[in-house]
Structure 1
Amino acid sequence: MPEKMIPLLPCRTVQPVVDFYTALGFETTYFQKSPYPYAAVERGRIELQFFSMKEYDPQQSYSGCYVVTDDVETLHAAFRAGLKAAYGRIPTRGLPRIGPLKDMSYGMRQFLMTDPGGNSIRVGQRISEDRSMRPAPKETFARALHMADLFADSKEDLPGAAKIIDRALGRTDEHPTPVQELRLLVLRGDIARRLGDEGLAERLLTRAADLPLTATERESARDALARLAELRE
């Protein structure tokens, strides 16, 4: 029998976590209340197990795992649909939440979701055989996007990501391309919303929506435009 690794992830209360994964299409394969709460869920070849800790703070969680798939687009769409059916909306901030699909600099197309226990589950598909981290671009706005993405969705340092984008958008000696400006505005609007600044988020997203783009530019920015539409729902 081939070896199999199963993540054991903490949470404060097991039931909300199980409910979250049920919404994603997982089956509960084990559940106990005593001598301590514990549960296991499965969806296809993905298996996760959870244990309860009374003093655990989900907001301070650093736990998580990476799920590799060969069809990240379908999985992302299925998870979003399941969450909308269960919660009446697609949660994009707070706990739980699910993020957008993004092409990462290390050869993966991925999305990040965080369950009610604060566990970060990254789900990705290889889009390049080169899995090494690409060096940061040298061009000003490409570099800002690269670094802000890493700060926001890998390091999860939202204030740090916001500073990078604000500095880039505030430059007067250089100007981004329309696609770069769109991506910067959408990411900054997303960050503002996740930080609870709805007024700023709305202004940034409106500015992004008003940018004139050619058909070629719209195709190049399809992920950012999809995220813009989600954030403005």
Structure 2
Amino acid sequence: MLTEIHPKLPMRNKEITRDYYINQLGFKPLGSRDYEGYLMLQKDKIELHFFEFKDLNPKENYGQVYIRTDNIEQLYQKLLDRKISIHPNGPLQVQPWGQKEFSLLDPANNLLTFGQGNK
């Protein structure tokens, strides 16, 4: 019965968040309306939503999302080629649970982990 999930993550600054996800990670705006304090983005088959939280202390942000991919090596290389900062504890590697993963932090310190299972 469940068909999709659209995580909602905090953002401190809408313009900085929009710029990072669109110009760095290749997302596109979702819809044609601009909502005050809210941002909706999409890439391929996923959507991410953001709500404004101007007082967010990035060191206290525990926002996280796990994004599955079917070509993690290509995605990782594209981000490296664009000089996107990879989380220092999250380079591309196979985890003990068998997933190949890497992570990065967005401007509000939301942790984005990308993963692909071994087939």
Using the size of structure 2 for normalisation, the TM-score is 0.85
> 1:81 Cα deviation (Å)?
2.6
Question: CA 1:42 to 1:73, structure 2 compared with 1: closer, same or farther past 3 Å?
Answer: same
Alignment partner of 1:29 is 2:30: yes
Question: CA 1:108 to 1:92, structure 2 compared with 1: closer, same or farther past 3 Å?
Answer: closer
Write the letter of the residue equivalent to 1:103.
V
**RCO (CA 8 Å, sep 6+): is it higher in 1 or 2?**
2
Measure the CA separation in 1 of the matches of 2:55 and 2:30.
26
Write the letter of the residue equivalent to 1:32.
D
Write the letter of the residue equivalent to 2:19.
D
| Aligned residues of 2:101 and 2:113 also touching (Cα < 8 A) | yes
Q: How many residues align?
A: 117
Note the 1:150-169 alignment, pairs <5 A.
none
Of Structure 1 and Structure 2, the greater strand share is in 2
Measure the CA separation in 2 of the matches of 1:33 and 1:3.
25
> Aligned residue for 2:92?
101
| Aligned residues of 1:24 and 1:78 also touching (Cα < 8 A) | no
> Aligned residue for 1:112?
103
Measure the CA separation in 2 of the matches of 1:43 and 1:104.
25
| Aligned residues of 2:90 and 2:101 also touching (Cα < 8 A) | no
| Aligned residues of 2:101 and 2:116 also touching (Cα < 8 A) | yes
> Aligned residue for 1:91?
85
> Aligned residue for 1:48?
48
Classify the secondary structure of the residue corresponding to 2:62.
coil
Q: CA RMSD of the aligned region, Å?
A: 2.3
Using the aligned pairs only, state the percent identity.
Answer: 31
**What are the ranges of 5 or more consecutive residues in structure 2 without an aligned counterpart?**
none
**What are the ranges of 5 or more consecutive residues in structure 1 without an aligned counterpart?**
85-89, 129-233
Of Structure 1 and Structure 2, the greater helix share is in 1
